[in-house]
Amino acid sequence: MRQNPERRAALLDAAIEVLAREGSRGLTLRAVDAEAAVPTGTASNYFAHRGQLLVQILHRTRERLAPKAEDLAGPLDTKVLLGRLMERMRRERSVHVAMLELRLEATRRPEIQEEMARFQALELEANVTWHLDAGLPGDRDGVVLLYFAMLGMIVDDLTVPALLEAHPVDHLLEVMVERLLPERPTG
């Protein structure tokens, strides 16, 4: 297998675009070669099989979606951070759509489901830990609920954006933060 990291990243970025545009059935090594504008057979030099490609796409999506320093700049405010997350999601729409396709593929392929479950659990734990370590309001359960609520909003924004038109996202983010992450625990 070839190890040129820049070429591998370019092929994975091409695969993300194919997956987002064509769906899982359209994702072939040939389609990745065409999207990356490289000679036929190049992707097969980097990925032994389609399953390996899918797992590496999963990891590449996280590299591309990780917040940059400017996304976390300024005083930490959960609503502002969530707004920036929505902006990144809209800017990187194809990466998020590719992730949805990977989730669907995981329902049919146990090896992908296993990798995705492990990967998503690590991501969730990292998000919860970062939130709590940053001293932002809320407890562990509230942060977990916020994660799943945001995931649902992102899925709807990607797949049926008209559904959110009647519900301004900024307002929903504010309500989610107020209700799920109170300054002081209730009870």
> What pTM was computed for the model?
0.87
Q: Which amino acid is at 177?
A: V
Residues contacting 157, CB < 8 A, separation 6+: 86, 89, 90, 164, 169
Give the rounded distance of the alpha carbon of 21 from its chain centre. Answer: 16
105-163 pLDDT, tens digit each: 999 999 899 999 999 999 999 999 999 999 999 999 999 999 999 999 999 999 999 99
Measuring CA to CA, which residue among 131, 22, 122 is closest to residue 85?
131
The DSSP code sequence of 46-107 is: H-SSHHHHHHHHHHHHHHHHSPPGGGG-SS--HHHHHHHHHHHHHHTHHHHHHHHHHHHHHT
